[in-house]
Amino acid sequence: MSDIKMVNLKINGLDVTVPAGTTILEAAKVAGINIPTLCYMKGINEIGACRVCVVEVKGARSMVASCVYPVSEGMEVVTSSDKVIEARKTTLELLLSDHKKECLSCERNLNCELQKLSLEYGCDTKRFQGATSKEDIPDVSTDYLVRDNTKCVLCRRCVAVCNKIQEVAVIGANERGFKTNVSCAFEEDIGNSPCVACGQCINVCPTGALTEKSEIANVKKALADPEKIVIVAPAPAVRATLGEEFGNPIGTNVEGKMITALKRLGFDKVFDVNLGADLTIMEEATELLERIQKGGKLPMITSCSPGWIRYMEFYYPDLIENVSSGKSPQQMFGAVCKTYWAEKNGIDPKNIYVVTVMPCIAKKFEKKRDNQAASGYPDVDASITTRELARLIKEKGIMFNELPDSELDNPLGEFTGAGVIFGATGGVMEAALRTAVETISGKELGKLDFNEVRGMEGVKEASYEVAGKTIKVAVASGLSNAKIICEKIRNGEADYQFVEIMCCPGGCINGGGQPILDSYTRRNVDYKTLRAKALYNQDASSKIRKSHENKAVQGLYNEYFGKPGSHKAHEILHTTYVARKKY
């Protein structure tokens, strides 16, 4: 028999029974009633600050914030009386009075929670007019993010995710009263802070106060240049999320339509960053085996996530030797385009313009790292987010959902199921294990699914017996979880051989450049699992599911690199890291 105490109450005259400790907001959902919120994020930002979720409770002296007010036995709640509706409307109109109302030109137009609520409550944008509290000078100090506080509603969702989920806490509320604003310490620009470029603040922002720094104009300029060979390559996770921008259910794989759209946008070649993912496995697996056999620095940590790498350089520079020297899939792909592919096709690399479509804004920073240019030119010229690609498609009038499916161009469009699952937390680890285990044992794996490293748990640990050796691994996603692993390694408490760390919770399927979901969807739908499922399904149906069996990758080594970890491979596919000062 359950020991959970149940509470009975009435909401809008309906009888509701919920566990003790449930908030009115959660109880209302059980009853099929939606109470609007603006600042609330379950378990992350439960501060009752915006007052949009107020309701009437019989016997209470005033209206209460339903997101933080617990239910009690016999409570009677009214969520939509005239008094409640007028209070919410007034609150929204006060927010609008201090808001830059340029909705038609805002990136979040039609996907803005303030705009949506204002429409639903019939708000008058001119009811309250007067001085505004925010300086109209956007922060554009980074390569990856724009902060426009004239659109900020002080919900503090960005502050909460930066502090509690990523634990870098580079932004917070400064000043007091009417002058309150969200910014970095001492009002410094983001570029002068140890921001890791994860973009999770953008994903939770209800308005257009935080956006990625767009590279659409540069891409369009390159496409219009007759001298440029413009190559585009999407990342593994993009195929599982792009469809959301066109009304498809969360977790819809739109790979075929995405390829067609990219070709109609005018790109000369449509390849795939998955090839870079398979190359990453070849180089990282080889590096791992060398470290195990020759007594190198262990555990080895994957280098695929640029947000994690930036975090490591700022907060754990003492772990630099633990990190694989392999470039990320994006950078490996770009490097191959401007060396191997350029030479094979007799093209001067200065005329090749590489565009990647990424679920991540940290890739915009990564492509500018000083030591990435093996060809003498940047490995990657432009990195656009899933959202930016959707804007390009819409601008060109391409009816995405009506498109036929297309195939990727060869040879750099060939990939495996192992490359596809890079987009989900644990995917890099699983792909690496498929190759490493077969290499160590000399035997073909009967079962390719390493379920122990799958799933959305923040930290996962597993051990495998391979040819008489015990291989211990760990997987972390989200920097608060990465911190747990890093502290273990720093303190000598980690008995691992290989560690995968992804900056964003859930991995790239929840990257800072992915389609933005409203707060209701984020707290009520397991969107990360749905997106990841699309990738695992594609892996399961792929003919080739191991990176070392990718024919294009085999060709690259046979024709160009010689073997994984060769001198030439190190010259083109590997990199170095630097300790960064926080301020």
Contact predicate 324/575, CB 8 Å: no
Return d(Cα 284, Cα 510) in angstroms, integer: 24
CB-side exposure of 139: number of CA atoms within 13 Å?
25
Q: Tell me if the bond preceding 515 is cis, omega within 30° of 0.
A: no
| Separation in Å, CA 482 to CA 23, 308, 479, 487 | 31, 8, 5, 9
Tokens at residue 380, please? Answer: 């990657």
Residue-wise pLDDT tens digits, 36-54: 999 999 999 999 999 999 9
Tokens at residue 480, please? Answer: 């608060």
Tokens at residue 533, please? Answer: 């499922």
CB-side exposure of 420: number of CA atoms within 13 Å?
25
Residue-wise pLDDT tens digits, 320-356: 999 999 999 999 999 999 999 999 999 999 999 999 9
Contact predicate 358/384, CB 8 Å: yes
6-80: in CATH 2.60.40.10: no
Q: At which residue do the structure tokens 């907060």 appear?
A: 315
Q: Where in the chain is the domain with CATH 3.30.70.20?
A: 94-212
Return d(Cα 56, Cα 10) in angstroms, integer: 12
Tokens at residue 81, please? Answer: 């009386």
What single letter denotes the amino acid at residue 137? Answer: I
Q: Where in the chain is the domain with CATH 3.40.50.1780?
A: 222-274+332-402
The CATH topology of domain 94-212 is Alpha-Beta Plaits (3.30.70)
Contact predicate 335/573, CB 8 Å: yes
Q: At which residue do the structure tokens 């939509």 appear?
A: 80
Tokens at residue 362, please? Answer: 């940290």
What one-character DSSP code corresponds to residue 579? -
- Structure confidence at residue 376 (pLDDT): 86
| Separation in Å, CA 44 to CA 26, 112, 162, 202, 413 | 15, 20, 10, 15, 40
Return d(Cα 223, Cα 565) in angstroms, integer: 35
- Indicate yes or no: pTM above 0.85: yes
| Separation in Å, CA 484 to CA 309, 317, 461 | 16, 15, 12
Which residues, at least 6 apart from 581, have a Cβ–Cβ distance to it below 8 Å?
none
Residue ranges of the chain with per-residue pLDDT less than 50: 1
What one-character-per-residue DSSP string does 160-224 give?
HIIIIIS-----EEES-GGG-EEE-GGG--GGGTT-----HHHHH-SSSSEEE---HHHHHHHHT
Which residues on neighbouring strands pair with residue 301, listed in sequence order? 323, 499
Return d(Cα 278, Cα 298) in angstroms, integer: 22
Contact predicate 285/498, CB 8 Å: no
Return d(Cα 205, Cα 158) in angstroms, integer: 6
Contact predicate 572/335, CB 8 Å: yes
- Structure confidence at residue 347 (pLDDT): 97
Return d(Cα 38, Cα 54) in angstroms, integer: 11
Which candidate, 119, 82, 87, 121, places its Cα nearest to that of 103?
Answer: 119
- Structure confidence at residue 1 (pLDDT): 44
Q: At which residue do the structure tokens 């498809």 appear?
A: 248
Burial class (CB in 10 A: 0-12, 13-18, 19+), 129: exposed
- CATH class of this structure's domain 222-274+332-402: alpha beta
Q: How far is CA 98 from the centre of its chain?
A: 30
- Alpha helix locations (H) across 251-328? 255-264, 274-294, 306-315
What one-character-per-residue DSSP string does 544-569 give?
---GGG-HHHHHHIIIII-STT-HHH
Tokens at residue 394, please? Answer: 């819409």
